[in-house]
Structure 1
Amino acid sequence: MESEANVLGGELAPCGTDPMTGAMRDGYCYPLQRDPGRHEICAVMTEEFLQYSKGQGNDLVTPRPDLDFPGLEPGNRWCVCVPRWMEAELADRAPPVVLEATSEDVLEDISRSTLEAHEHDGGETQSAASNGHSN
């Protein structure tokens, strides 16, 4: 991956490695010509977003070993598609965004102020599951 910028203008930070995210499964949310879904927003999964996405036909909860997809749970960081995040935002189901790990290309479609309104406030932790949630 060549050096990419985030929505804050700094160097793009990794989004998540457990589970490994990104269109290339390298932990980063950056634009790729061969990724028409535009998995460029680093978001922290919430139950509301996971259920919303499933209702829209994109089940992110069920593991898919054939696609090397472990299934997601609340607290996981994942590179989500720009159009899906925008739909979820309109439906009041948008997950929190990790600005440091979200590609600056997203700003072509979503304002920085909108992204900041959904900023994840959990610091640099990989998973919100460590904040007392248990399964």
Structure 2
Amino acid sequence: MDFQDKKAIYLQIADYVCDKILLAQWPPGVRIPSVRDLGVELEVNPNTVMRTYDFLQQKEIIYNKRGIGYFAADDAIDRIKSYRREQFLETELPHFFRNLYLLNISLEEIEERFKAFIEVEFK
């Protein structure tokens, strides 16, 4: 996994785990990789993965069954979408709006490009 400098590694791993859950590769109720296994897979220290799992447990996206392992919560998909929506609205959208204003890009142009993007990527 290629990590970015602008975001903490444990949060980037959390995004990776959430992507796997959203893509149904790690469905709710199914055991996810252990701390050690994910550390090996991503070539990071297991302590970093543990920090990620602690963070995701606080968000109630995953849970731990003692002695068995970690699992995606039954409502993990809804929780992930809610968390990501909140992050997007608080951090990315203000930057996006600033660029729209500075570059004099209209909302109509954005809407046209958004529709084209959806057509190409999701149909």
| TM range, smaller chain | under 0.3
Q: TM-score, normalised by structure 1?
A: 0.25
Q: Which has the higher helix share?
A: 2
